[in-house]
Amino acid sequence: MSGEVRGGVRIALRVEGLCVVAVALFLYASHGAGWGMFALFFLAPDLSFFGYLAGPRVGALCYNAAHSYIGALACFVLGAMLPSPAFVAAALIWCAHIGFDRALGYGLKYVDGFGYTHLGRIGRARAYAHV
C-alpha cells in the first residue's frame, strides 16, 4: 500500500477540506476582522515551502507543521482563552488555507518528495505514477 487514499475516500477528504474553507470564511466574516488582513495572510503557511531548500525531509516537516490543523486549532484556543481577536482571526485564516489546499488535493507531505501526499500524488509525481 502506498499510504495515499484513493477513490471515494479521497473525494470525501477533499469535500471535507471545502467544508472547512466554507466554515472558516463564515466564521471570519462573523468575527469582524478585515478582508485585507485575510488576503495578506492567506498564503502565509506556504512560506513553509522554503524548508525544501534544506531537502525533502526538512521540507516535508516544515510543510506538514504549517499545514496541519493542530497548530491552527491551538492558535484558536489561545485566542479564545486570552481573549485575543487577532489570534482567532489568524486561526480562521490558517484553517481556511489548509482547507483550501486539501480541497485542491494538496495533502500532508511524505519525505519522498513534494509531490507525494496523503491525498495522492500531485504534479510530476502524479504524471509519472502511470508510466
Confidence of residue 122 (pLDDT cuts 50, 70, 90): confident
Residues 63-85: tens digit of each pLDDT = 999 999 999 999 999 999 999 99
CA distances to 23, 32, 40, 89, 104 from 35, rounded to whole Å, are 15, 9, 8, 10, 22
CB 129 within 8 A of CB 22: no
52 vs 113: CA distance, rounded Å:
9
102 vs 75: CA distance, rounded Å:
20
Residues 21-67: tens digit of each pLDDT = 999 999 999 998 999 999 999 999 999 999 999 999 999 999 999 99
Query: Structure pTM?
Result: 0.90
Element (H, E) at 24: helix 7-31
